[in-house]
């Protein structure tokens, strides 16, 4: 009886396929093979076809580590997000991708899960890979992480917020001011009794709450009962739960600002289930202007942020510093924001009377 196990052993070579193997297979010199892969326009179409066929047949994968030793570049940009499930970040990533990919860079994505210690560990690991640049979310890195990035000699862009003391370069907007302006928009529409609901109170959510509180302190009735927060992860379900709690305890509220659109959407779903009319019985406003916000019933008043443009500008900053070996003329870019009024609030509260 034959030994099927031995007969079926893979014939895969134990050695890595090299560029020289590709060149030999295609019948060209290693230099020509390398040129075809790095700068295809410098090689005739006939040779390119042969070389690409050899690459495909042999399963050749370029050794980027060896290439980086020779050129001092890895062509890798590390991007650090606090969450991969938060619907805010895909648009930011699209802007980064659409800018870096045509320039020949690959993106290495990391997730901190909103934990500073994980962020520090990830930064250490990523810096060991010698990326050509790093894009990191937020401005609240701990002292050790900040020191690592400052001393790394690696171009760094902090995104999503603005800071007076960037590690290197900074692209974002003021969450405090955006929330403040949203509340002022409601106040100018006639609202006085305005609540706030927030969840997973990371630094950006905290600043949104502070913007709300400042506007309320200056122009409306300040009441701590009107504020409710949770450290739980944001979800539609949580938004409905927190809304029910706040509106039950404070039925006099005229409007509620939510720290994000997910929570606001959950509140709208809950109102629709219970027959609570929006905006007649309560007005609702969100933050981020996510793709679904305009499709809710009623459509959600919210703060819109140019997320794609933020990612694009951050990538452009990195490319500038990599190419010029110095920071751009301005190291900070404010992408701004817009308060978008929709049917979940009144343009004029008096109109409902």
* Residue 139 phi, psi (nearest 5): -125, 10
The answer to the question of residue 214 being in a domain is: yes
* CATH code of the domain containing 161: 3.40.50.2300
**Residue 148 and residue 183 in one domain:** no
Residue 16 has pLDDT above 70, yes or no: no
**Residue 91 and residue 57 in one domain:** no
**What is the share, in percent, of the chain residues with pLDDT greater than 70?**
92
Q: In sequence order, which residues have a C-beta less than 8 Å from that of residue 235 and are 6 or more positions away?
A: 199, 262, 266
**Residue 45 and residue 122 in one domain:** no
Antiparallel, parallel or unpaired: β 255-258 and 283-285: parallel
Antiparallel, parallel or unpaired: β 169-172 and 227-230: unpaired
| CA torsion, ordered 220, 221, 226, 230, to nearest 10 deg | 60
pLDDT at residue 348, as a whole number: 79
**pLDDT averaged over every residue in the chain:** 91
**Residue 179 and residue 232 in one domain:** yes
- Give the whole-angstrom CA distance, residue 208 versus residue 250: 21
The answer to the question of residue 33 being in a domain is: yes
Q: In sequence order, which residues have a C-beta less than 8 Å from that of residue 121 and are 6 or more positions away?
A: none
pLDDT at residue 130, as a whole number: 87
The answer to the question of residue 70 being in a domain is: no
The answer to the question of residue 25 being in a domain is: yes
Q: How many domains is the chain built from?
A: 3
Under a CB-based contact definition with an 8 Å cutoff, are residues 52 and 81 in contact?
no
* CATH code of the domain containing 45: 1.10.260.40
Residue 128 has pLDDT above 60, yes or no: yes
Under a CB-based contact definition with an 8 Å cutoff, are residues 271 and 248 in contact?
no
pLDDT digits (tens, 9 = 90+) for 320-349: 999 999 999 999 999 999 999 999 999 877
Residue 59 has pLDDT above 80, yes or no: no
**Residue 9 and residue 114 in one domain:** no
Q: DSSP H helical segments within 72-168, as ranges?
A: 89-100, 116-128, 143-151
**Residue 46 and residue 98 in one domain:** no
**Residue 146 and residue 204 in one domain:** no
The answer to the question of residue 26 being in a domain is: yes
Reduced to 3 states (helix: H, G, I; strand: E, B; else coil), residue 41 is: helix
Reduced to 3 states (helix: H, G, I; strand: E, B; else coil), residue 255 is: strand
Range of the domain at 79: 75-173+307-336
The answer to the question of residue 342 being in a domain is: no
The answer to the question of residue 344 being in a domain is: no
Residue 57 has pLDDT above 90, yes or no: no
**Residue 85 and residue 160 in one domain:** yes
**Residue 247 and residue 190 in one domain:** yes
**Residue 297 and residue 182 in one domain:** yes
């Amino acid at each position: 009886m034959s030994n099927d196990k031995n007969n079926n052993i893979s014939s895969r070579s134990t050695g890595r396929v090299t560029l020289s193997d590709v060149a030999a297979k295609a019948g060209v010199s290693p230099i020509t093979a390398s040129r075809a892969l790095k700068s295809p326009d410098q090689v005739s179409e006939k040779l390119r076809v042969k070389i690409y066929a050899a690459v495909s047949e042999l399963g050749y994968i370029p050794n980027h580590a060896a290439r980086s030793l020779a050129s001092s570049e890895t062509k890798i940009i590390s991007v650090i997000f606090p969450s991969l499930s938060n619907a805010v970040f895909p648009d930011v990533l699209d802007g980064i991708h659409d800018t870096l990919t045509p320039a020949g860079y690959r993106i290495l994505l990391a997730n901190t899960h909103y934990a500073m210690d994980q962020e520090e560990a990830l930064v250490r690991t990523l810096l060991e890979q010698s990326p050509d640049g790093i894009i990191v979310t937020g401005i609240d890195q701990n002292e050790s992480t900040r020191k690592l990035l400052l001393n790394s000699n690696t171009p760094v862009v902090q995104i999503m917020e603005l800071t007076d003391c960037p590690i290197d370069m900074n692209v974002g907007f003021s969450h405090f001011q955006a929330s403040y302006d949203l509340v002022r928009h409601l106040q100018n529409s006639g609202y006085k009794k305005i609540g706030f609901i927030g969840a997973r109170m990371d630094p950006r959510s905290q600043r949104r709450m502070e913007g709300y509180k400042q506007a309320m302190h200056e122009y409306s009735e300040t009441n701590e009962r009107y504020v409710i927060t949770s450290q739980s992860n944001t979800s539609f379900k949580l938004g409905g739960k927190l809304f029910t709690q706040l509106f039950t305890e404070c039925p006099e509220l005229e409007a509620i600002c939510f720290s994000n659109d997910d929570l606001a959407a959950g509140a709208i779903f809950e109102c629709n289930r219970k027959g609570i009319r929006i905006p007649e019985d309560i007005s609702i406003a969100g933050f981020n202007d996510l793709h679904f916000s305009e499709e809710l019933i009623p459509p959600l008043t919210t703060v819109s942020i140019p997320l794609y443009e933020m990612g694009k500008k951050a990538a452009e900053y990195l490319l500038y510093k990599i190419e010029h070996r110095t920071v751009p003329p301005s190291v900070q870019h404010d992408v701004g924001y817009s308060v978008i009024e929709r049917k979940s609030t009144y343009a004029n509260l008096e109109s409902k009377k």
